[in-house]
Amino acid sequence: MAEEIATLAGGCFWCVEAVFKDLIGVSTVESGYIGGRTINPTYREVCGGDTGHAEAIRVTFDPALIGYGDLLAVYKWNARNTVSLLVRNNLSWSDNKGGYQLDWSFPLYGRLKGYVQVFTGYGESLIDYNWRQTTFGIGVLLTDWM
């Protein structure tokens, strides 16, 4: 499947860039500026606030592994902890088959990270799309070792 590109502005692009590099399904993350009046501004000029630019990132991702909505619901604090929330809803009030997933990754030792995931709702996988369940998982992330 072809990769897709999302452009996201989020304040300091260095902080935002680090969050998305850790996500499964994201192949590249590039920092830059969007909008503005100045041609080819320097970092110092943009930070001064006079150019009208916003710091942004361009995320290239595989939509089979991660969606645009997933990209928007990721938050990182202390530069090492990541929390993400996935919300799915079919917008049918009489027969709602939505689901909610909360993920948290945190440092354990060096580049080794812990991972906790909670899911509740319908369709954690395509096999159980019509079955409501609540699951809890805990594990270890090795993605920073590659």
* Tokens representing residue 26 in the block: 């994201």
Under the banding of pLDDT at 50, 70 and 90, the label for residue 110 is confident
pLDDT in tens, 37-90: 888 888 888 877 788 887 788 889 888 887 766 666 665 555 567 777 777 776
pLDDT in tens, 8-47: 776 666 666 777 777 778 899 888 888 888 888 888 888 7
Catalytic residues: 12
| 106 vs 146 pLDDT, higher one | 106
What amino acid is encoded at 93 in this protein?
W
Residues 6+ apart with CB under 8 A from 67: none
Asked whether 71 and 22 are in contact (CB, 8 A), the reply is no
Per-residue model confidence (pLDDT) at position 139: 92
Instruction: Tell me the CA end-to-end span of the chain in Å, nearest whole number.
Output: 23
Is the CATH number of domain 1-66 3.30.1060.10? yes
pTM equals: 0.50
Asked whether 135 and 119 are in contact (CB, 8 A), the reply is yes
For 62, phi and psi rounded to 5 degrees? -95, 110
Domain residue spans of the chain: 1-66, 73-146
pLDDT at 118 over 80: yes
- Strand-pair category, 132-141 with 112-122: antiparallel
